[in-house]
Amino acid sequence: MKIKCSSIQTYLKVLIVIVISRVMSILGKPASSSTKTMTSSVLPKNLLALDLANRLSVNSDSINLASADFGKLVQSKPQAVFYPSSHQDIENLVKSSYSSTRPFSIAAKGRGHSVRGQAMAHNGVVIEMRSLMNCGNRINVSTTDLYVDVGGEQLWIDVLNATLEYGLTPKSWTDYLYLTVGGTLSNAGISGQTFLYGPQINNVYEMDVITGRGETVTCSKHKNSELFFGVMGGLGQFGIITRARIALQTAPQKVKWVRMLYNDFSVFTRDQEHLISIKNNENGLNHGMDYVEGSLMMDIQLSSLNNWRSSSFYSKRDYREIISLATKNDGKSNIIYCLEVAKYYDDLTVNTIDKELELLFNGLSYTPGFKFTKDVSYVDFLNRVRIGELELQKKGLWEVPHPWLNLFVPKSRISEFDSEVFHGILGKNRCSGPILVYPTYRNKWDERASAVIPDEEIFYSVGLLQSSGLNDWEYFEEQNKEILRFCDKVGIKFKQYLPHYETKSEWVNHFGAKWDLFQRRKTMFDPKRILSPGQRIFN
C-alpha cells in the first residue's frame, strides 16, 4: 500500500518504533509458572500498513488479555489486538493479510472461553469480536418467520433476553450462556437439549462469514453450502462468523427441574436412554422431556454438592440425606449418579405438569426417596450456571486453570468407561469439578457439518470439568492423558469435543473420513492458512 501523505508516513514510522519497543518489552517478560508459554520474536512488518492502524492496539493490557483464555493452561502472545467497529473492518484486516507477501495469522476471540489457546494468534492479530457491541443493535427478531439475526459477537444470554421480549426463544443451548454465538457455532454447542433439537449448529438457517480471503459470504444449506457446513463445527478454520440466523420457537414460562439419584450406573444410563427415546407427537409437540443430562457426585462433601453448574439446588436437609446415601457402604464414599431433567410449562399446562411428569417417570429406577424437584423460571433454569460463576468469582476461584477434557463416547463402551475411568482412574485420584455424562442421538447431527461424532446411533457426552490451583494443574493434565491412553489402548473410538491435539496425525485421526474434506475446505476458503492458528491443525 503506497502512502502519499508525508504526515501519515511520519506517523507510521513513529508508530512502528513504538510497536517494536512494546513487543520487545512483552517478549522479555517471563511467563507465569502456571502456564505453558509459546514465544516469538517475529513482528509481521505489514501489520501496520493498514488504514485500520487506529484500531490496532499493542497496549500491554490488551496483549496480555489476548494471550490467555479461560483454561489458563497456555499463554501465546499476539503482536497486536484489533478492535473492529464493523464487519467491514474485519474484512479489511483479513484482506490485508491475504494480499500480503507475508500473511499474518488472525484469530477471532469472543469471551475467550476456550481452554487450550484455541482463540489465540501466536505472533499475529487477535480480533476482539466483542468490540462490535458498539455497532448498535445486532439482534433482530422476526416474529413472522420465527428466527433471529444475531451478530457473531453477541452473547447467548443477550439473545435469550431479546427473543423473550417477543415470547420466543432459541431451541438448543449450552449450559453456560455467557458465550458468543460465533464461538459456540464454531464448535457445535451442546447441552441437555441436544438429544431433542440437535446441537446449536443444527438450528441455524443462514450465516454471514468472512473467509480467509477477506470475502464476506452469505451462506446456508442451499446457498454456498460448502462454506456453511464447513463453518458449522469447523473450529474457526474457514471463516469468521459475523451474523447467524437462528431458529426460534414459542418460549415457555416455567420449568420443573428434577434430579434423581442412582447407585447403579447401568440403571442410570438405561433410564437416561429411556427418557430421550420418548418421541414427539405428530404435530411436533414435545410430550417427553425438554432437557436430559447426567452427572457424577464423587468424594461427596457438603461444599461439592452445589457445584458451579447449578448452585443452590439442594437444601441442607438434602445434603445430609445424600451424604448418608453415599457413605452407607461401610462408611466408604461411593459414586452417586445424578439424572437431571427438565420439563417446560406455562399457564396453559400448569395444572397438568405434575401428572405429565408422573407418567414420564413411571418405570424409572432411581433410588427411592432421592428425587428432588424445583420450580424455576425458564430464564433462571437456562442461566443456572451464572449463579455459581458469580459465587466463585467472589471467592477468587473462577479465574484459575481449567484442565478440561470433553469426550463423545459410544454407548457400547460407556459401561467400560464407567468402571475403568470413573471408578478406576478418577476413583484413585483427585477430582475437582463437575463430571457430566449424558446421551444423545447421532441422527440429530447433520453429517455434512465439520463437527465429528462417534459412529454409533447413541453416544454419550462426557465432560470432566476440572478446576485446579495455580500449581497443580499439571496433575489433572496427566490424569487426562491417562484417560486418553486407556481409551486408545482398549479401542474405545471416542471423539474429543472442543478438541486439542499436538500432531497432524492426531488431527487426521480425529476427523477420520472427514479429513480430506476438511483439508479441501481449508484450501478453498483459507488457502494461506491465516485463520485460527491456535487450533494448531494446519500449522
Active site residue ranges: 113, 175, 293
Cα(432)–Cα(420) distance, integer angstroms: 18
Cα(497)–Cα(405) distance, integer angstroms: 8
Beta carbons of 189 and 174 less than 8 angstroms apart: yes
C-alpha cell at 228: 456453511
146: left (phi over 0), alpha (psi -120 to 50) or beta: left
Strand partners, 247: 147
Burial grade of 349 (CB within 10 A; 0-12, 13-18, 19 or more): middle
Cα(406)–Cα(427) distance, integer angstroms: 18
Strand partners, 342: 257, 291
The closest alpha carbon to 129, from 241, 231, 207, belongs to 241
Beta carbons of 338 and 252 less than 8 angstroms apart: no
Rg (CA), the chain: 24
- Residue owning grid cell 448418608: 324
The closest alpha carbon to 461, from 188, 263, 119, belongs to 188
The closest alpha carbon to 81, from 47, 49, 39, 34, belongs to 47
For every residue of 348-406, which 3-state class applies, written as one string? CCCCCHHHHHHHHHCCCCCCCCCEEEEEEEHHHHHCHHHHHHHHHHHHCCCCCCCCCEE
